[in-house]
Amino acid sequence: MHKLNVFNTTRYASSIRAELRASHAGETGAVWIYRGILLVNRFKRDSDIQTFAKHHLATEKEHLLQFENLIHRFRGSALLFFWMFAGFMMGALSMLLGKNWVYYTIYKVESFVDVHYRQQINALSKLEFCDKVDILKMMQACNVDEQAHRDEALSAINGEPNLAMRVWGNLVGTGSHCAVVVAKLL
């Protein structure tokens, strides 16, 4: 990927700022989901979860860094601490409930993120802005990783999700949707 000039101080139009702010918030939340999982796993010591979460965490940190490099062009969400907390709680709680909950949670989150990135790439491709081609490439590369995370989580789920898991999964989906709406504004 062509290196973006991170010193370019161009401030984007508000619709573009909103999209970048939402994705930056989402990648922040993602990092903290895995931190929550890994913290609880210090006590549970599940080696499959350890490998899964550490590998995903490294990818999410890489995604986050790419958005952080551009943050002067859009301003981060005013609720960043809340996204960290929410991500951490989602990860920690799912791990407290069991590894299948972790895989199912990641599957639901990443399924949401995949749709969101695709919609975002589609919306941004219709606009004109500085470094557009590189930013779209960056988002596409992130989305390929998110799809891999989703598929990896799906194949790790053991059996059919029970009713409680499905209710939780719907909550995760709705929560992610609301988070995007709010992060675009604040």
Would you tell me which residues interact with Fe ion (CB under 5 A)? Answer: 27, 30, 60, 63, 146, 149
Residue identified by tokens 């609720």 is 79
C-beta of 109 vs 165, nearer to Fe ion: 109
CB of 91 to Fe ion, least distance (A): 12
Q: Alpha-carbon distance 115 to 111, whole Å?
A: 7
C-beta of 99 vs 116, nearer to Fe ion: 116
SS3 of residue 10 by DSSP: coil
Total residues found in the chain within this entry: 186
CB of 119 to Fe ion, least distance (A): 15
Burial class (CB in 10 A: 0-12, 13-18, 19+), 7: exposed
Instruction: Judge contact between 101 and 4, C-beta under 8 A.
Output: no
Instruction: Judge contact between 41 and 50, C-beta under 8 A.
Output: yes
For 29, the token pair is: 């939340």
C-beta of 71 vs 164, nearer to Fe ion: 71
CB of 33 to Fe ion, least distance (A): 9
SS3 of residue 72 by DSSP: helix
Residue identified by tokens 């990818």 is 59
C-beta of 73 vs 149, nearer to Fe ion: 149
Sequence-distant (≥ 6) Cβ neighbours of residue 71 within 8 angstroms: 24
C-beta of 19 vs 146, nearer to Fe ion: 146
CB of 146 to Fe ion, least distance (A): 4
CB of 67 to Fe ion, least distance (A): 9
C-beta of 130 vs 147, nearer to Fe ion: 147
CB of 147 to Fe ion, least distance (A): 9
